[in-house]
Amino acid sequence: MARYRGPRLRIVRRLGELPGLTRKTPKRSYPPGQHGQARKKRSEYALRLDEKQKLRFNYGISERQLVRYVRKARRVSGSTGQTLLQLLEMRLDNTVFRLGMAPTIPAARQLVNHGHILVNGRCVSIPSYQCRPGDVITVRDNERSRRLVETNLQNPGLANIPSHLELDKSTLTGRVTGIVERQWVALEVNELLVVEYYSRKV
């Protein structure tokens, strides 16, 4: 199965806060399972694995997709870790989420899949579509689509819209003005550990 469909709070308890996965907060702070409360020293591999899993679950992508993103980031000059985060942040489903049009990334993915979102006037139903500076993201001009997004905008998943995005609430129009900067990535992750995790595998 490509995407995780199990209990989300179980993942949050194991990996920490994942704003793209769920808005709920777990009642217990320790990891799930029989030995969740047992404190033990984590290996270097386990630390790198956890950072990689944060990216997978937060952005809702499969292992195969993440490997492709890592390979793509390596081909670009500059910091591989930062380029990887930029590629993930500029996905259409994440952009819709960061604009506040959906409460979580899975909800944004559903909006995109069901054809509620237009990019530059065209219906794009591919959540992994890479947004570029200058792209205009709008809501399909019908009552159901507009009502869905208006409801979500009243209580967005994250309070602040990042600097590379602009939103006009009156027309439900978002615009990509640039590439996301590292400080605007909402997920707390050490991308260098992710690159190290894949250094021998990819």
pLDDT (tens digit, 9 = 90+) per residue, 11-31?
Answer: 888 888 888 888 777 776 666
What mean pLDDT is predicted for residues 74-79?
A: 90
Question: pTM to 2 decimals?
Answer: 0.88
Phi-psi region of 113 (alpha: psi -120 to 50; beta: other; left: phi over 0): alpha
pLDDT (tens digit, 9 = 90+) per residue, 111-153?
Answer: 999 999 999 999 999 999 999 999 999 999 899 999 999 998 9
Q: Is the pLDDT of residue 61 over 70?
A: yes
pLDDT (tens digit, 9 = 90+) per residue, 97-116?
Answer: 999 999 999 999 999 999 99
Work out the pLDDT band at 72, boundaries 50, 70, 90: very high
- Confidence at residue 39, expressed as pLDDT on a 0 to 100 scale: 67
Phi-psi region of 60 (alpha: psi -120 to 50; beta: other; left: phi over 0): left
Strands 165-168 and 136-139: unpaired
Q: Which domains does the chain have, with CATH numbers?
A: 8-86+185-197 (1.10.1050.10), 91-178 (3.10.290.10)
Q: Which of 52, 55, 57 is nearest to 10 (CA)?
A: 57
Q: Which of 84, 82, 16 is nearest to 53 (CA)?
A: 16
Q: Is the pLDDT of residue 1 over 50?
A: no
- Confidence at residue 77, expressed as pLDDT on a 0 to 100 scale: 87
